[in-house]
Amino acid sequence: MPRVKLTKSVIDALPTPSKDTVHWDTGRPGFGVKITPKGRKVFVVLYRTAGAGSRLRKYTIGPYGRITLNQARVTAQKVFAAKLDGRDLAAEKKDSRRRMVADRVDDLLEAFIAQHISQNRSAREISRMLRREAGSAWGSRSIHEISKRDVIDVVNTIEQRGAPVAANKALKAIKTFFRWCVGRAVLDRSPADGVPLPAKQVTRDRVLSDGELAQVILAARQIGGPYGDIVEVLALTGQRREEVARCTWDEIDLKMRTWKLSSDRTKNAKPHEVHLSDPVIAVLTRAKKAGKFVFSRSGDISFQDFSSAKREIDEISGVTEWRLHDLRRTCVSGMARLGIAPHVADKILNHQAGTISGVAAVYQRHDFLAERREALETWGTHVSRIIGNFFEINARRKAA
């Protein structure tokens, strides 16, 4: 290979060869410029990974023109300095290129959904959102190309559709995805770090009054079917919507008056037992036992049409601006009014962190099953009483 003292004028004057030719710099051994038969000139570095006789490595710096001779010399010096530190920049560059091709966002998203999201009670909703928002925007790109600006653009697009709450949910899911990638050494840091939620989080504090609760339950009975039964059980037990909606007959023991949820059915991945009060037993007794699911039209598929059914119950009950989750808050608030201890209510709700926390929580492993049974019976009796009072008040009004 020819050796010359490389200067800009020398490189400009180099002839186009019939095959790839490298002109090595006499002033910096191992540094040179390669010329292809098409006249393309590229700066390269050649070095050994160890001493004499070790493997030769070629590091491609980049094309002449886009990279100046001075910039190429500086990069070459960095390559030689890294070699002295025991690093192989050519191998690192090759590995980086491989990762850029292998670590596609869509592939990682599917792995994340399968390994992490699939165990979440909202798996279907979160998976659909991630594929629709992040997957459609970045799917074919390498995850190493995704920047903070890309994350902000996706979130802003959702917000501009007039869905600030959805934008918040999407950002939280995207942040969890990137943290998962960091935890598996796919990324060194998350590009979503420091991206603020687009909409202010508003903590709901809606608690239905006794009168409103009676109206909602009576409307639920009027509607009947899976949705009506779900609403009444939510009001009587304080459990989560999906846990009730996906309840199966093999979880129910009517003789023992218990409902046992396995760890894969609860939000905090802890098994949970719920005592069934008399009013709940009455709901389950009238439920149609046609298949696996308790609250289902066919028995094979759990009830899912919540939006339209909610509008119907609002119209019948006359109670507005409430959500099904508010029944959970109403239940625990009502128990507090009845004198039920907070730690017992926490156990009923299967809260991850409750009133017993810190060191006490480490040693406190009592489940308070007897207290929970008594609390739910007390709450069930109270709900039955307010429904009876509602009927009595209406009867008096009609009589007057």
Report the distance separating Cα 235 and Cα 332, nearest Å.
Answer: 10
Q: What is the pLDDT of residue 364?
A: 41
Average pLDDT estimate for 65-76: 91
**Under 8 Å between Cβ of 245 and 295:** yes
Please report, rounded to a whole number, the percentage of residues in the chain having pLDDT higher than 90.
Answer: 55
pLDDT, tens only, 4-47: 899 999 999 999 999 999 999 988 888 999 999 999 999 999 88
pTM: 0.58
The pLDDT assigned to 183 comes to 92
Q: What ranges make up the beta strands (E) of the chain?
A: 3-4, 21-25, 31-35, 41-48, 56-63, 252-253, 258-261, 272-275
d(CA 351, CA 331) in angstroms, rounded, equals: 14
For a pLDDT cut of 70, what percent of the chain falls above it? 89
The pLDDT of 218-228, averaged and rounded, is 94
Beta bridge partners of 260: 273
Confidence of residue 125 (pLDDT cuts 50, 70, 90): confident
Task: Flag the least confident range among 168-177, 203-212, 218-227, 339-348.
Answer: 203-212
**Is 195:172 a contact under the CB 8 Å cutoff?**
no
Return the higher-pLDDT residue of 299 and 220.
220
**Over 60: is that where the pLDDT of 361 sits?**
no
Least confident of 179-183, 307-311, 395-399: 395-399
For the stretch 273-290, pLDDT in tens is 999 999 999 999 988 888
Residue 384 has pLDDT above 70, yes or no: yes
Name the pLDDT band for 363 (thresholds 50, 70, 90).
very low
Q: Find residue 133's DSSP bridge partners.
A: none
- Asked whether residue 194 carries a pLDDT value surpassing 80, the answer given is yes
Q: Are 113 and 127 in contact (CB under 8 A)?
A: yes
48 compared with 146, residue with greater pLDDT: 146
Q: Is the dihedral of CA 370, 375, 381, 387 positive or negative?
A: negative
The answer, yes or no, to whether residue 341 has pLDDT greater than 50, is yes
Per residue in 130-139, pLDDT tens? Answer: 999 999 999 8
CA distances from 111 to 100, 103, 257 (A): 17, 11, 40
Q: Across the strands, what pairs with 62?
A: 43
Average pLDDT over all residues of the chain: 86
Q: What's the pLDDT at 357?
A: 44
Rounded Cα distance between 228 and 321, Å, is 18
Amino acid at position 187, single letter? L
Q: Would you state the pLDDT for residue 102?
A: 62
What average pLDDT does the segment 87-99 reach? 66
For residue 362, the model assigns a pLDDT of 39
Is the separation of the CB atoms in 276 and 246 below 8 Å? no
The pLDDT-based confidence of 223 (bands split at 50, 70, 90) is very high
The model's pLDDT over 152-162, given as tens digits with 9 standing for 90+, comes to: 999 999 888 87
Return the residue matching tokens 């289902």.
Answer: 296
